[in-house]
């Protein structure tokens, strides 16, 4: 039986700072790993969050080219944030950890919209109605 850490893993190519390429296994996290994921989000520790999602040591992150690291962060969030938001719907502790992040994401999206800068892709945050369900507040209009 496969390890829970490797369920739903998909290859993701990264570029190291020396220009070489490496393929890592980007994985959907197990329930217990989602708790770690939310801790890393709450503590603004994206390098540890990425390490968790790819199963690499924290130090490995420093070998990545900056743009490749940014793309990897985005993929880790796209893959695992929706599951963490679902977990938050049933666990108030997780909800309280995600609520400040959801507010920051929504504020950032508003600031980008006001600035006129293009948003290339949607944020990993759930839509406003799902965010309200997680945080227990109604979306502002």
Spatial CA neighbour of 90 closest among 127, 134, 126, 40:
134
Question: What is the model's pTM?
Answer: 0.69
Domain assignment present for residue 140? The answer is no
CB-count burial class (<10 Å; 0-12, 13-18, 19+) for 25: middle
Backbone phi, psi, residue 28, to 5°:
-75, 135
Residue 141 lies in a domain: no
Tens of pLDDT, residues 29-55: 999 999 999 999 887 789 999 999 999
Q: What is the pLDDT of residue 68?
A: 95
Task: Give the SS3 label for residue 59.
Answer: helix
**Tally of domains in the chain:** 1
Confidence of residue 61 (pLDDT cuts 50, 70, 90): very high
d(CA 74, CA 97): 19
- Nearest Cα to 95, choosing from 72, 139, 121, 126? 126
Domain of residue 53 covers: 4-135
Q: Is residue 109 part of a domain?
A: yes
User: Does any domain span residue 69?
Assistant: yes
């Amino acid at each position: 039986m496969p390890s829970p850490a490797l369920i739903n893993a998909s290859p993701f190519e990264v570029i190291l700072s020396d220009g070489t390429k490496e393929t890592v296994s980007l994985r959907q996290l197990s329930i217990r790993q989602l708790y770690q994921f939310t801790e890393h989000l709450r503590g603004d520790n994206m390098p540890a969050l990425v390490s968790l999602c790819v199963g690499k040591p924290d130090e490995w992150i420093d070998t990545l080219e900056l743009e490749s690291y940014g793309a990897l962060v985005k993929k880790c969030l796209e893959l695992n944030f929706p599951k963490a938001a679902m977990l938050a719907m049933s666990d108030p502790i997780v909800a309280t950890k995600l609520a400040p992040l959801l507010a920051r994401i929504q504020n950032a999206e508003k600031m980008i919209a006001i600035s006129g800068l293009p948003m290339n892709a949607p944020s990993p945050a759930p839509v406003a109605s799902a965010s309200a369900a997680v945080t227990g507040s109604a979306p502002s209009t």
